[in-house]
Amino acid sequence: MRVGLEVDGKARTADDVEVGESLLFLLRERLGLPGSKNACEQGECGSCTVYLDDEAVCACLVAAGQADGRRVVTVAGLSGDDGLHPVQQAFLDAGAVQCGFCTPGLVVAVHDLLRRTPDPGDAEIREALAGNLCRCTGYEKIFDAVRAAAR
Amino acid sequence: MTDTAAFLRPATLDEACELKAAHPDATPIAGGTDLMVGLNFGHTRPAALLDLTAVPELRAWRRTDDAVELGAGVPYARVVAELGDDLPGLARASRTVGSPQIRRRGTVGGNIGTSSPAGDALPSLLADRAVIEVRSVRGVRQVPAGEFFLGPGRNVLADDEIVVSVRLPRARGPQQFAKVGTRNAMVIAVASVAVSLDLTANAVACAVGSAAPTVVVPEPAETYAADHLDWSGRTPLHPEVAARFGELVAEGTSPIDDVRASADYRRHAVSVVARRLLGWAWAEAVRPRGTEGTR
């Protein structure tokens, strides 16, 4: 089937999309957009988190056909012409990136948290990021980045 | 996936029923939080997918005098945000589902259709005697939640039927839910319990997940608690009553040993969780007037 959608502000079309294919596969393998990472493919790790219309979701759990006619924003779409988004910059400044595999999903999840809760407490950060796993940082630097981006 | 497989995307409920009748082997998909895992790993190869996310009727809920009719496609995040006062037990359970990403996609209807005894929404539905509405081109059926589930992954749905909504009574007292797992987020329940108090009818309702082939309602425990709570005086819950309630709830289960826990552990966990939930719910009931039944 053909799937047409907007990704990071650009209209995109993919042909020969299979019925059971995920949005993540479509983004990475058919459109060549590797920003969203493929790790667990079962919604456990959050590394493929993207916006689908206005909601941050796991792209691996969205059927590609469900995204037809909808708007997707990946981590790559958060930065503008004037450089990195403040959340992305905060991750760099705080050293919240080690291997980097979880980072794209975490950046989108933190972006979503801060647009709804501009000054989150630790419990709110914990609940908001419960679906994003990092196996390197121990999360302390990530929390630092969230607090820095909130300022 | 074969070349002949179809991705069906109805825009109305009538169209969804027509497509399901024409493609009885199509698998309904809403949030995809369960189904997509099987597809990603090649464990499931449905002949067709029936995407229900574009059907507006399924994504709405409405309040009546004494009930809430919850569309099958309303995601957990909305249950948490919008129904905490009307359905506090289901809202609490919904908040324990997966992660924020999962709660934005996963739906109560998905939990119903998947029919896992570990479905986090299901204990609240059974405790509160919810009624599930299913529809096909042949008509509408109202199925009590207690009669809907037949075993793990099995239910009374016919091939041409889809789950449309679930009707739950609005809370008439405190409602609690808790589950046991290895961490707070992203766990399949080792055991889960819902407890509701009806301060109008002086009744106790309870259901247990992940401790039998389906979610079970321990009726002797419900009756025991109702008979031993001081409804008029609202005196504190006696520890022996709470403990006996927990034992009776556990006696209503038939757990198995599996990768997540042993049967013995599950029985013990159910007993402890049920005891605590009755205590928490009753503590809400004995708060000063004006705050009863609210959170």
pLDDT digits (tens, 9 = 90+) for B84-100: 999 999 999 999 999 99
Residues of chain A contacting B19 with CB distance shorter than 8 Å: none
Q: Work out the average pLDDT over B130-145.
A: 98
Other CB atoms closer than 10 Å to residue A26's CB: what's the count?
Answer: 25
Task: Using CA coordinates, name the residue in chain A closest to B99.
Answer: A131
By Cβ distance, the residue of A55, A63, A128 closest to B29 is A63
Q: How far is A57 from chain B (nearest CA, A)?
A: 4
Percent above pLDDT 90 for chain B:
91
Residue B110: enclosing H or E segment and its boundaries? helix B108-114
pLDDT at residue B288 above 50? yes
* Distances, alpha carbon B276 to alpha carbons B66, B140, B196, B244, B279, in Å: 28, 39, 13, 12, 5
A109 and B100: CB-CB below 8 Å?
A: yes
Residues of chain A contacting B1 with CB distance shorter than 8 Å: 18-21
Residues of chain A contacting B98 with CB distance shorter than 8 Å: 43, 131
Q: Work out the average pLDDT over A24-29.
A: 98
Average pLDDT, chain B: 95
Q: Tens digit of pLDDT for each residue in B202-250?
A: 999 999 999 999 999 999 999 999 999 999 999 999 999 999 999 999 9
In a mutational test of the B interface, the residue from A27, A48, A62, A66 whose CB has the highest number of chain B CBs within 10 Å is A66
By Cβ distance, the residue of B48, B49, B185 closest to A130 is B185
Task: Using CA coordinates, name the residue in chain A closest to B98.
Answer: A131
pLDDT at residue B291 above 60? no
Q: How many CB pairs under 8 A join A and B?
A: 98
- Which ipTM was obtained for this model? 0.96
CA dihedral A16, A19, A24, A30 (to 10 degrees): -10
B224-233, B248-257, B280-289: range with lowest mean pLDDT: B280-289
Q: Tens digit of pLDDT for each residue in B144-171?
A: 999 999 999 999 999 999 999 999 999 9
Residue B123: enclosing H or E segment and its boundaries? helix B122-127
Residues of chain B contacting A55 with CB distance shorter than 8 Å: 104-105
In a mutational test of the A interface, the residue from B36, B58, B94, B187 whose CB has the highest number of chain A CBs within 10 Å is B36
Q: What does residue B13 show for φ and ψ, rounded to 5 degrees?
A: -65, -40
- Measured CA to CA, the distance from residue B82 to residue B71 in angstroms comes to 13
Could you tell me which residues are beta bridge partners of residue B107? Answer: B75
Per-position b or e across A99-115, b if 16+ CB within 10 A of its CB: eebbbbbbbbbbbbbbe
DSSP annotation string for B200-266: TTTEEEEEEESSSSS-B--HHHHHHHHHHS-TTT-PPPPHHHHHHHHHHHHHT------SS--HHHH
Angle of helix A140-150 relative to helix A103-116, nearest 10 degrees, comes to 40
Residues of chain B contacting A104 with CB distance shorter than 8 Å: none
Per-position b or e across B197-223, b if 16+ CB within 10 A of its CB: bbbeeebbbbbbbbbbebbbbbeebbe
A56 and B101: CB-CB below 8 Å?
A: yes
- pTM for the model stands at 0.95
Angle of helix B239-251 relative to helix B219-228, nearest 10 degrees, comes to 170
Do B194 and B174 contact (CB within 8 A), yes or no?
A: no
Residues of chain A contacting B104 with CB distance shorter than 8 Å: 55-57
Using the Cα atoms of residue B182, residue B42, residue A62 and residue A11 in order, give the sign of their dihedral. positive
Q: How does residue B4 score in pLDDT terms, banded at 50, 70 and 90?
A: low
Angle of helix A86-94 relative to helix A103-116, nearest 10 degrees, comes to 120
Among residues B66, B101, B105, the alpha carbon closest in space to that of B87 is found at B66
Q: Work out the average pLDDT over A72-101.
A: 96
pLDDT at residue A55 above 90? yes
Average pLDDT, chain A: 97
By Cβ distance, the residue of A1, A46, A62 closest to B32 is A62
Among residues B135, B126, B9, the alpha carbon closest in space to that of B72 is found at B135
Using the Cα atoms of residue A57, residue A62, residue A64 and residue A68 in order, give the sign of their dihedral. negative
Q: How far is A53 from chain B (nearest CA, A)?
A: 12
Q: What's the token pair of residue A123?
A: 């419990």
Query: Could you say which DSSP state residue B106 is in?
Result: -
Using the Cα atoms of residue A30, residue A34, residue A38 and residue A42 in order, give the sign of their dihedral. negative
Could you tell me which residues are beta bridge partners of residue A5? Answer: A12
Give a three-class secondary structure readout of A16-64. CCCCCCEHHHHHHHHCCCCCCCCCCCCCCCCCCEEEECCEEEEHHHCEH
- Measured CA to CA, the distance from residue A63 to residue B65 in angstroms comes to 38
